[in-house]
Amino acid sequence: MSFWKRLLPGKQWRLLTGKVSGIPDSFEGMTQAVGLGACSWADPFPVARDGRCWVFIEEVIHHPKKGRLAVFELNADGSVGPMTVILERDYHLSYPNVFQHDREWWLVPESRANRTVDLYRCVEWPHRWEYEKSLMRDIEVVDATFWQRDGRWWLFGGTPATPGGNASGQLCLWSADSPISEDWTPHPANPIVADRACARPAGRIFEHKGMLIRPAQNCVKRYGYGVHLMAIEEWTDTTYRERLFQAYTPPTMPPGAIATHTFNQAAGYFWGDVALRTWPG
């Protein structure tokens, strides 16, 4: 099987970026940053701090295939600084969700392979992160995404319908009094979304013209085929409803693209990713 896999075309994920104001109409014309050698760069999470901007990413090593987390600085002229690996485990890591709480910086990566939702604390910005604790254990959650609302913190995450199954078709929601709590209460309407076109998170929730927008992956045709921006229309302690606001699929992306699955913004820049077909060797 591995022999045939090496003969078939694969995918390389690259970063997309562009200086935009608001929500872009398409990803055409965005700049592509290529991964180094036999690897992919994806899941960009930009962070603006002290007048500078850092971008946290997933770097996937293809042989053997396993994700780890890295960071680089976006220079004032738009160029990319040196990339440094910040977190690597013996299992796959991705979706480096970095956020600030109580004057400290925290990181919650996707670690479904470990059946945990883990929390790391920054001890030296932006390169040193130490394991703090697990927010959830013995659970399969992908792409944990946070939002503070009505005095509580909420955690969105993709979950499989059956243990070990695909985690792109269901979205669940939990709440707690703090983003670093170990006591998360599931929403009574879970799964709040059951649709491969818009369940799995694709980046931070953000506000746009009075609306809350939740980036979601469109996985109908393939994993990470596109990004749907979902406008949250109703959200209470017992209900949840959203609608499609904007869609990005390969026809709205640079030539040769077959997928995109991240949408984030910071410091006036959009950051996403794009997959292109590659051939072995």
Residue 1: what pLDDT? 42
Q: Beta strands 128-137 and 10-19: pairing type? A: unpaired
Look at residue 235 and give its three-state secondary structure: strand
Residue 6: what pLDDT? 44
- Would you call the peptide bond into 280 cis, given omega within 30 degrees of 0 as the criterion? no
Burial environment of residue 1 by CB neighbours within 10 A (0 to 12, 13 to 18, 19 or more):
exposed
In angstroms, rounded to a whole number, what is the distance separating the alpha carbons of residues 227 and 250? 10
In angstroms, rounded to a whole number, what is the distance separating the alpha carbons of residues 272 and 231? 19
Helix, strand, coil percent values for the chain (each to nearest 5): 5, 55, 40
Q: CB-hemisphere CA count at 13 Å for 139?
A: 20
* H or E segment and range at residue 3: helix 2-7
How remote is the C-alpha of 68 from its chain's centroid? 13
Neighbours of 76 (CB within 10 A): 9
Residue 4: what pLDDT? 39
Residue positions counted in the chain? 281
Among 139, 158, 143, 149, which residue's Cα sits nearest to residue 176?
149
Q: Which residue has the tokens 């072995």?
A: 280
| C-alpha torsion 11→15→20→24, nearest 10 | 20
Q: Which residue has the tokens 């939740």?
A: 214
In angstroms, rounded to a whole number, what is the distance separating the alpha carbons of residues 83 and 44? 13
Residue 35: what pLDDT? 63
Q: Where are the beta strands (DSSP E) in 23-140?
A: 31-33, 39-49, 52-62, 65-74, 84-87, 94-101, 104-110, 116-124, 128-137
Residue 227: what pLDDT? 98
In angstroms, rounded to a whole number, what is the distance separating the alpha carbons of residues 251 and 259? 10
Please give the biggest Cα pair distance in the chain.
54
In angstroms, rounded to a whole number, what is the distance separating the alpha carbons of residues 187 and 234? 14
What are the average pLDDT values for consecutive 10-residue runs of the chain, which has 281 residues? 46 91 89 75 97 96 86 90 96 98 98 98 98 98 96 97 95 98 98 98 97 98 96 97 96 87 96 83 48
Residue 226: what pLDDT? 97
